Chain A
């Protein structure tokens, strides 16, 4: 009996040691230089978030021109937004090369930068001009002085409203939060629509923070002070948060379901024609006016304005990027860089948007996304869009970004959970105080106050 056990244990140990040595060898792969290889015939695999995004569809359609010109093939792989981080992490840890280029929200940047290839050498070698993008965008792609991604997709927040409803009730688009509450109440009382549809749901990579920070920042509040001590529970923070939560809890101008909504749920609600206002990223503007994705009453009736602020104070909105970076484990880094350079061409994004506005491209390729400074103030573009990009450029001037620290995913989760709790009716101050305490402990543990 003992003999049998010994034989089994010996076999097991042999198997394990073979595996361990096998695993340790595998981590060294993926570092070969490709500069001397021809790029023709190589395939660049690009990971995108799924969701029938117009700009992504336009890239897919137009990448054929890139392939024709360079001989480099491009394969787009889509994954649900919720799984993006897991997919990048799994491939990044293994240096597997499953993806050459990955699109990701800027808030993930600090977490995944170690899986990305720094682009400094490529930028320097090819004299690639970064100044085409606003500094705020570039800053979200830069860590420890190195650029890790290019902000070819970026968003500014705007307030979208149903022009037909506003006209019918003789309302003007709100310029501050108190006007927003007034028109919301009026719309909720006089029509079968809710005034506004926010998104308070927990999780979903902290989507419920963006509208909250617009309230917070425009009231002179903030998440941290300059020493990274949480200040979102100070007087300005409490006042701003109460006002934001009261849309649902006290004023009841938001649908009850918004307590569970993520950004997409609330957008869908607006597209169904059940709410008169929606605050969020500008890229959805083309969706709102697309008959394939919005209700009949909504299409052609959606107008835009800048995000409101507090009366007498400056409006401050969010800016967010969805940049593209090259994976460290990529086996085709040079080809990937060529594709990134092509995607960054000012003419490409300009043409995508112009073709959307003039209906030259199919509706699933419509995109309003402009990231480059030269294009934002483009006269023809602003004429075609009724000044949409001028409004966006103005908002961009006052915009802020969420903190770019490696602890952010955890902090975003604490704040997202707190907002969700308050939206269920929990009192604002104690919940914010608890969240601040938790954030402070986390920052202390990370050595911020040493």
Chain B
């Protein structure tokens, strides 16, 4: 009996840590989301309003704008990142000496702080002295005069490109390890049977990578939904509100407008969207041994 209790006592420090950093803030923010709390008015939580803050979101045009922006941003970022990272993985998954060096170099963009990446890209995209702007202008002269962060479409393209740039190395490494784990015999058999490279890719490689694609896409959706630093440092949601994703809208509502109840409710809506997506995706796509 003593032994049984002892293991639970050992769990206490971890539980204290999780409770203080995760469970308590979660419960507290849910409680706040059920109240009308304007921090400009009072330091204490205001009156209980039930689910009013949740209902309010659905009649808020800014909320719907941020949902649309989030959808465009997430779908584009996830699809482009996955496609490019599979392509990079196919190029770098061979067991050659110089490729192992390239694989190590590949991780560098991922090792940089997202805020630093955002600021650096803001400079590089500057129409007057930006390096990237000059390079693009040199190779594709018609694009030389584009102010990348100056129109809704180009700002979104720039934002998606930067987030893809951040996550591409990590995702590529996931696919590289997946590809290197596929038995060579399968490819040799396909070669013997006369399969073309195209057929090998779509009939063998991608189906065999299915479990990794599944995990990578779930992770990528979650990473993209919570992307914050690149938006703050690169576009601040602009021009207008064309790159104002839900995450940034929540931050503005809470920490710029001090509407804490509504901001907490929006936070929960984002969490529900993320969890909902993961559950639906897993149910639809994860069948049987995909996870094994």
B40, A259: Cβ atoms closer than 8 Å: no
Select which of B12, B27, B39 is within 8 A of A89 by beta carbon: B39
Query: How close is A9's CB to chain B, nearest CB, in angstroms?
Result: 11
User: Which chain A residues border B126 with CB–CB below 8 Å?
Assistant: 257
User: Which chain B residues border A406 with CB–CB below 8 Å?
Assistant: 38, 40-41
Q: In terms of DSSP, what is the predominant structure of the interface of chain B? A: loop
Considering the complex, which residues of chain A in the window 344-368 have a beta carbon less than 8 Å from any beta carbon of chain B?
A: none
A413, B24: Cβ atoms closer than 8 Å: no
Question: B139-153, CB under 8 A of A: which get 1 and which 0?
Answer: 000000101011110
Select which of A19, A95, A111, A257 is within 8 A of B24 by beta carbon: A19
Segment from A51-59, A201-209, A387-395 that makes contact with B: A201-209
- What separation, in Å, do the CA atoms of A110 and B41 have in the docked complex? 9
B256, A12: Cβ atoms closer than 8 Å: no
Select which of B12, B39, B236 is within 8 A of A202 by beta carbon: B236
- What separation, in Å, do the CA atoms of A142 and B12 have in the docked complex? 50
Question: B101-130, CB under 8 A of A: which get 1 and which 0?
Answer: 000000000000000000000000011100
Q: List 27 A-B contacts (CB under 8 A).
A: A11-B12, A12-B19, A15-B16, A19-B20, A85-B255, A95-B43, A114-B40, A114-B41, A114-B42, A201-B238, A202-B240, A203-B237, A203-B238, A255-B127, A256-B145, A256-B147, A257-B147, A257-B150, A259-B151, A269-B128, A409-B258, A410-B256, A413-B252, A421-B240, A423-B239, A426-B240, A438-B61
Query: How close is A298's CB to chain B, nearest CB, in angstroms?
Result: 15
Q: Total interface residues on B, using CB and 8 Å?
A: 40
User: Which chain A residues border B12 with CB–CB below 8 Å?
Assistant: 11, 15
- What separation, in Å, do the CA atoms of A260 and B241 have in the docked complex? 13
Considering the complex, which residues of chain A in the window 77-103 have a beta carbon less than 8 Å from any beta carbon of chain B?
A: 82, 85-86, 89, 92-93, 95
Select which of A89, A410, A424, A426 is within 8 A of B150 by beta carbon: A424
Query: How close is A258's CB to chain B, nearest CB, in angstroms?
Result: 9
B151, A424: Cβ atoms closer than 8 Å: yes
B198, CB-defined interface residue at 8 Å: no
A410, B257: Cβ atoms closer than 8 Å: yes
Query: How close is B5's CB to chain A, nearest CB, in angstroms?
Result: 8
A1, CB-defined interface residue at 8 Å: no
B241, A417: Cβ atoms closer than 8 Å: yes
9 closest Cβ contacts across the A-B interface?
Answer: A202-B238, A203-B236, A421-B240, A259-B150, A257-B127, A420-B239, A260-B149, A406-B40, A410-B257
B15, CB-defined interface residue at 8 Å: yes
- What separation, in Å, do the CA atoms of A314 and B51 have in the docked complex? 51
With A20-B24, A406-B40 known, 17 other A-B pairs at CB within 8 A are A12-B23, A15-B16, A110-B40, A114-B41, A202-B237, A255-B127, A256-B147, A259-B150, A260-B149, A260-B239, A269-B128, A410-B259, A417-B240, A424-B151, A424-B239, A426-B240, A438-B61
A277, CB-defined interface residue at 8 Å: no
Q: Which residue of B lies closest to A110 (CB)?
A: B40
B147, A259: Cβ atoms closer than 8 Å: yes
Question: B236-256, CB under 8 A of A: which get 1 and which 0?
Answer: 111111000000000010011
A193, CB-defined interface residue at 8 Å: no
User: Which chain A residues border B61 with CB–CB below 8 Å?
Assistant: 438
Select which of A20, A201, A409 is within 8 A of B257 by beta carbon: A409
Question: B215-247, CB under 8 A of A: which get 1 and which 0?
Answer: 000000000000000001000111111000000
